[in-house]
Structure 1
Amino acid sequence: MTDELQGPVTFVPADRRANAAKRRQLSRRMFIGASLAVAGGAGVSGLVASSATAAVPTTSASDPYPFTLGVASGEPTSTGILLWTRLAIDPIAEDGSGGMPQRAFEVQWELAADPRFNRVVRRGTTAADPRWGHSIHLEVDGLEPAREYWYRFRAFGHVSPTARTRTLPPPNSDEPCRAIAVSCSHYEGGYFEAYRHAAEELPDVVLELGDYIYEGAGVAGRFRVHPGSTCLTLGDYRRRYALYKSEPQLQQLHQTAPWLVTWDDHEIQDNWAGLYPRDGVPTDAWRVRRAAAIQAYWENMPLRPSALRPDGELQLFRRFDWGRTATFHVLDTRQYRDLQAHNDGGRTWWFADGPVQADPTRTILGDRQESWLLDGFQGRADAWHLMAQGVFFAKRDITAGSVTTVGSDGWDGYQADRNALVQGWQDAGVSNAVVLTGDVHLHFANELKADFHDPDSATVGVELVTTSVSSNGDGSDTVNGGPTVLAENPHIKYIQNRRGYVSMAITKQELTADFKVLPYVTRLGAPIGIGRRFVVPAGAPQLLPA
């Protein structure tokens, strides 16, 4: 595919200001008396905000800095927010402990109505427990709707970065929303410059669509190399998250807006499915690895304490109403799915379309999540319904001619679930359906058909697929097989093989999507450009070039 086919890209100069997040040289010495131990520790249910305040223990400025992994927020409501941090004085310590002693520590927190903290509205203390990697998941409620807040933590004589967050609008609001969708940040692929540019847009919310980390061993010859082997244990996954979270651009975007997160596959293993590993053969070792990865994901994401269930599963499908303007349905397309169609031990994921992919007994969502999602379409027909999830939704035939070849890892491999979902939003009268997707390391803009086997059927929604933050390196102005994909799939309107993200402006009248692109990621300072802009009118699902 040529640059002419994709359309012109306009780049703007990169912001050359020095990033406020500086890498610190950290002492590895174990510290004694640097913080107040919390007697007995706290379980998951104890990781919520305390109404009491406590003085931070007297310490020296030379004590190790504990906020090396930054701070974050998520799970917004119209009256509350979830605040996150994880203490680590040596982020990639060999045992995954972050260099922290194996005891609980008390951490102060503050939430203010201004960035200088002249108007503090909530403060207290909470426990950082070693059982959960010294992570903090702090639920703060009783806040004002549609309001910006600033927060920070304090421990060991140090103050964390100050970060911005916000609450959702009240239920009767028609407030517009500015949202960013990101996916696939591979440390070995390049710098996370897309995060920096996304932060500079000051979005209202960030949607993370999966592959926040990559679990594989370091590969010699890549731009930069993962330290250590493939992640298998809780300590391995904790170290990998610490490596990624030490990136200043990632910290910058977390400090700018609340995140709504879901996973895809690399948070555990490439192309895992439900209870099955990539090769389709579950073992006791796989179950232990899966449980470790689930815990590490929860520890490192701004998720509620209740998201980590007593049975070890993670509750990731959930819903957020942006007033009357939009509903964000965050989906989990990994944990409940059946094994991929025609699984051959993970050697390939592309097969001729046929009855196995259409088997009505096979699911990608699971019955409970599918029922929850269909119920969520009811009673809000005129709102935008944005489904944030991991894998390609539209039909994608990659072979020219009469044979249809589709991927088994995306929704093409679970067509009954896709058909039920498309029919479900039509039955509910939803005319503003938008699927948000990551995974494929390319930008795509797709119109969604009532029947993908009939290209003349009605367009009933759109899919916006964000390219990767850094996976696959710099990319190029060509797409391998791109002309064939466009010719065989007339509902696919745009493909782009650069790194970046999708930026959306959502109003009651329309949704505007900018496919943001970077010319390179293997060196710092890349400018940002708009590869293509589309407008989707409310009530008329189609992609109109703007």
Structure 2
Amino acid sequence: MPGTPDAPAPLPPATPATTRRQVLAGGAAALGAVALGTAWSPEARAETTTRASRVVEPFTLGVASGEPFHSSVVLWTRLAPDPLAEDGLGGMPDRAVEVEWQVSEDEDFARLAASGTVETGPRDAHAVHVEARGLRPGAQYFYRFRADGEISPVGRTRTATPPGQRLDRFAFAFASCQNYTHGHYTAQAHLAQEDLDLVAFLGDYIYEGPEQGTVGRGHLPRVEVRSLAEYRIRHAQYKSDTDLQAAHAAFPWAVVFDDHELENNWADDQSDGEVISPEDFLRRRAQAFKAYYEHMPLRRSQLPTGPDMRLHRRLTFGNLVDMHLLDTRQYRDKQDQAQRENPDRTLLGAEQKQWLFEGLSSSRARWNVLAQQVFFSQRDFAAGEARRFSDDSWDNYVVERDEVRDRLARVRNGVVITGDVHANYVNDVKADFDDPASATVATELVGTSFSSGGDGAEQNPGDAVQLSENPHIRFINRRRGYVRNVVTPTEWTADYRVVDYVSEPGAPIRDRARFVVEDGVAGVRAEG
């Protein structure tokens, strides 16, 4: 529930010597507790010593923020002293717990901007969602929690610039697909060191399968997760990674799911992997959605009701960027190659499509962004006269894809950002994908995975065919990493940041390619 406006007893100030790098990039809950605990009164220290044998660190999953509005932001944590406990409840007692929270203008928590208390309990796996309000627009803040006398690590967050107000620079990264078993979260560690206003995560935050992998990071539990307890444990395992915690603590995130948060290639109420009734599948979907919400910095407006969760929404950053976050799973018709050109098929569903089109029509932003999951541009995998398309992309919903493309053509600077395919692409969105001479009407930037697919490569053998058969595809690369974007009124610069391996920790980050989109000029130009 949202935090209450009444102020709790003061939390101790942070030690002035604690650096921003220590607070934000440390990731480990122990660092935050030690750094913030040194200024406690002697009485509080004595109490802590007395309690040491019976209290276990509850902030093992770190802290996060998200959904920045111009005067509020979501703060998240979950109390879980034993995050992988078999019942999925994180080792917490079967009782409600009061959690204090603070938002400060400074790292020392000397200038509080907001504070309050919130109650959480076993029904929500002791997850905490605070919608901290009354904040200054376009401002940086620091935040922390306290529960049972223990203090969380410190996170840093930022509010948005109000809609319509001049904004000269917006920096964000987008990423997706972080299979825990496929590699170390090296890219997330580098991401935490960037200078960003937002991270957009475009799906496959967890993977549902029983894989154990080859890098010593096998999934727990060792089954395909289906129950609420199993989904909670899987989320907690991913959230336990300190590099991921550091990336969450450094910036606000905006998240959307794809398929693996529930089951590979699911569509609406249909399983793609087993023979199961829609009723049984929706019961599983309800468990997955509940666990997803419990572990993400989402607003109450995204709180699921059974198997339903409204995840499509819009974030606005001044007069510069409208980001339309889409849900391409919950309302789609089941994948069917034989029906790909059927005009009645939908990926978005009627209500979401209307919401999107109305938002695009009314937008006054310089840049309009579709933040979504699956490949948008046409992608023919077959050489010569034959044609072969993916059935888990917009190519399987051709008529609706073309409707969205035509709407993008009417707005100023349409950019689609995409995840899912574990590879970097840059695409010119064409007025007619079958006619290379037709106008370019928008740009699609596709980001690789954080770790899914292992170390990756520069390219695969089949990429030459893709580049030949799809001249609107300008770039393909299959290393791991993320895309860093700096958006100004005159141009959008996208840096494809990659690591050469994730099978071992410690890989350096490098800029593999840079592309620029100029204001008022659809399509990209390569730089460097």
Fold agreement, TM-score > 0.5? yes
Match in the other structure for 2:394 = 411
> Is the aligned partner of 1:229 residue 2:235?
no
| Contact persistence 2:209–2:224 (CA under 8 A) | yes
Measured after TM superposition, the shift of residue 404 of structure 1 is 1.2
| CA contact 2:70–2:162 (8 Å) conserved in 1 | yes
1:377 aligns with 2:377: no
Which residue of 193, 197, 207 maps to 1:204? 197
- 1:479–1:495 contact (8 Å) kept in structure 2: no
* Cross-structure match for 2:496: 515
Other-structure match for 1:218: 211
Q: Distance in 2 between the 1:119 and 1:91 partners? A: 33
How far, CA to CA, are the matches of 2:419 and 2:400 in structure 1? 19
TM-fit CA distance, 1:272: 0.5
- Corresponding residue number in structure 2 for 1:401: 384
Whether contact under 8 Å (1:177, 1:505) holds in the other structure is yes
Q: Aligned partner of 2:524: which letter? A: L
Deviations 1:43-66 (A, max 9, x none): xxxxxxxxxxxx999652441000
1:285 pairs with one of 277, 280, 283: 280
Task: Give the deviation of 1:315 after TM superposition.
Answer: 1.0
Structure 2 residue aligned with 1:153: 145
SS across alignment from 1:535: strand
CA contact (8 A) 1:318 1:331 kept: yes
How much has 1:221 moved relative to structure 2? 4.2
Contact 2:73–2:133 at 8 Å: present in 1 too?
A: yes
Amino acid aligned to 1:377: L
| CA 17–487 in structure 1, closer or farther in 2 if over 3 Å, else same | farther
Amino acid at match of 1:439: D
Could you say which residue in structure 2 is the equivalent of 1:134?
126
1:46-65 equivalences under 5 Å are 60-62=51-53, 63-65=55-57
User: CA offsets per residue over residues 393-421 of structure 1, 9 Å max, x none?
Assistant: 00010110001110111000011111111
Given the alignment of the two structures, is residue 535 of structure 1 paired with residue 516 of structure 2, yes or no?
Answer: yes
Contact 2:125 2:294 (C-alpha < 8 Å) held by counterparts: yes
Query: Aligned to 1:105, which of 97, 109, 113?
Result: 97
Whether the aligned pair in 2 keeps the contact of 1:202 and 1:256 (CA below 8 Å) is: no
Where does residue 185 of structure 2 map in the other structure? 192
Amino acid of the structure 2 residue aligned with 1:414: Y
Quote the Cα distance in structure 1 between the aligned partners of 2:80 and 2:249: 18
Residue deviations 1:195-236 (CA, integer Å, cap 9, x gap): 111110131000000000111003364553112211010000
**In structure 2, distance between residues paired with 1:57 and 1:448:** 64
SS of corresponding position for 2:250: coil
Q: Measured at CA, do residues 281 and 419 of structure 1 come closer, stay the same or move farther in structure 2, by a change above 3 Å? A: farther
In structure 1, give the amino acid aligned to 2:391.
Answer: S
Q: Which runs of 5+ in 1 are unaligned?
A: 1-14, 26-54, 343-354
The partner residue of 1:310 within 301, 305, 308 is: 305
Would you say the 8 A contact 1:56–1:107 is kept in 2? no
Alpha-carbon separation, structure 2, partners of 1:78 and 1:110: 18
Secondary structure of 1:21's partner? coil
Structure 1 CA distance, aligned partners of 2:482 and 2:117?
36
Shift of residue 309, structure 1, vs aligned partner: 3.9
1:362 CA displacement: 0.6
Query: Secondary structure of 2:192's partner?
Result: helix
CA distance in 1, matches of 2:365, 2:57: 49
TM superposition shift of 1:140: 1.4
Task: Name the structure 2 match of 1:327.
Answer: 322
Structure 2 unaligned regions, length at least 5 = 1-20, 32-43
Residue pair 1:374, 1:425 contacting (<8 A) in 2 also = no
Shift of 1:499: 0.3
Question: Deviation per CA, 1:418-450, whole angstroms, max 9, x where unpaired?
Answer: 111111233xx3131111111100000111011
CA contact (8 A) 1:61 1:157 kept: no
Deviation at 1:543, TM superposition (A): 1.1
Q: Deviations over 1:339-397 (max 9, x none)?
A: 0014xxxxxxxxxxxx6211111100000000000111123355111111110000010
| SS, match of residue 496 in structure 2 | strand
Where does 1:28-67 land on structure 2 (aligned, <5 Å)? Answer: 60-62=51-53, 63-67=55-59
Q: Name the CA distance, whole Å, in 2 between partners of 1:282 and 1:422.
A: 35
Higher relative contact order (CA 8 A, sep 6+): 1
Partners of 2:172 and 2:199 within 8 A in 1: yes
Counterparts in 2 of 1:91 and 1:280: CA distance versus 1, 3 Å: closer
Residue of 13, 23, 26 corresponding to 1:20: 26
- Which SS does the other structure have where 1:406 is aligned? coil
What's 1:42 paired with? none
Identity %: 44
RMSD: 2.2
Structure 1 residue aligned with 2:243:
249
Query: Do the aligned residues in 2 keep the contact of 1:431 with 1:460 (CA within 8 Å)?
Result: no
User: What's the CA shift string for 1:162-217, capped at 9, x where partnerless?
Assistant: 00001001221223100000100011111111111111013100000000011100
Structure 1 residues 478, 421: closer, same or farther in 2, change over 3 A?
closer
> How far did residue 121 of structure 1 move?
1.4
**Shift in Å, 1:541:** 1.1
1:266 equivalent in alignment to 2:260: yes
Residue 67 of structure 1 aligns with an amino acid whose one-letter code is F
What CA distance in whole angstroms lies between the structure 1 residues aligned with 2:252 and 2:339?
Answer: 40
The number of equivalent residue pairs is 489
Provide the rounded CA distance (Å) in 2 between the counterparts of 1:24 and 1:97: 21
Q: Which residue of 2 aligns with 1:367?
A: 350
Note the alpha carbon deviations across 1:244-267, whole angstroms, 9 max, x for none: 000011100110111010010000
- Equivalences for residues 81-96 of structure 1 within 5 A: 81-96=73-88
| Kept in 1: contact 2:78–2:125 (CA 8 A) | yes
Q: TM-score, normalised by structure 1?
A: 0.86
2:244 equivalent to 1:238: no
Contact 1:65 1:156 in 2 (8 A): no
Q: Quick check: 1:177 aligned with 2:156?
A: no
Looking at structure 1, the residues matched to 481 and 441 of structure 2 have their Cα atoms a distance apart, in angstroms, of 27
Provide the residue aligned with 1:457 in structure 2.
Answer: 438
2:450 maps to which residue? Answer: 469
Determine if contact 1:169/1:175 at 8 Å carries over to the other structure: no
